[in-house]
Structure 1
Amino acid sequence: MTNTIFKKLISTTMTCAVLFSFTGCANGQDANKELEIKEINMEVLQEMIADKETFTLMVERDNCPFCNSMNTYLEETKADHKGQYNVYRLDTTDYELYREAEGDMTLISSTEEGKQFLSIFPYFLYTPSIYKIEEGLPVDVGIGYDEANYTISNWNVDSTINWEQARPIDVWTYLAQE
């Protein structure tokens, strides 16, 4: 009888050990996941902000050489930078964002989506821009892309960027920040 109890104890211990190892592996997979950027539109962005979500937003446009260069770098190096990322991409190509007068440091738009975008990000001026959104509020931004150093220029969201005072930060370091 003691032998039967001992066998059940060993069996239960082994089962728990196996289940624990699977659980550990499942949790570890998220930390070893490669960057995946999800495409969204203005409607989805507004829902995420209304739902007070926390995420990273990459703002880009077609024919932006800095966007293309940064995306190529991210794609080529994502296997070396595994982790948990919550990154979305918004293409603003069709938002007709422009300066009303030469030298203006803010943009305007003639499209509804562009106006909605600028109501959330009033100091947006350059692509790429990578916004950190916490509980539905933009709190930080990385602007531009320096392909020689793989950096973006870190700035606050409360004013147009001052390139002389902005802090360069590695694009992967910025994406990994929570």
Structure 2
Amino acid sequence: MGVAGTGKTTVGRLLADAVDVPYAEGDAFHPAANVAKMSAGTPLDDADRWPWLDSIGEWIRNSARLNGGVVAASSLKRVYRDRLRAAAPGAVFVHLTGQRSLIEERMSARRGHFMPTTLLDSQFATLEPLQADELGVVVDVSGSPEEITKSALTALRELPAAED
């Protein structure tokens, strides 16, 4: 989870490879209308997000039945993460976070993505960081993708074991 440009896709793929589980790109779950709205520089509202989150939650639930999985999705608000957890109660979140200037620089350098840098401020305004009662870890994105992934794996391994 995290705002656009934090490396969710890159780190998500590396995490999935590291633990040998499937990976899904959260953006692929957006209907065309959502992509068009964001491409035009208009932030999504909650009504736009609910079907998207439900699709992601279904993927997480199905992956959990197998051997788990990693999905990259912004999940900026607590209520969004709650909705995902309702679909897949064992979901663990990796919150990728960093300085706005670094994230904007990375967003400006990427090509072919529909999310414009003009929406970054709305993403930060919407962001509700992980709370102490949410299962997850916070990882700084100032390093290389490999360093970020290593930090995430280390933090995840340090989480207390889930109770049955």
Q: TM-score, normalised by structure 2?
A: 0.31
Report the structure number with the largest CA radius of gyration: 1
Kindly indicate whether structure 1 or structure 2 has the higher relative contact order, using CA contacts under 8 Å at least 6 residues apart.
2
Q: Which has the higher strand share?
A: 1
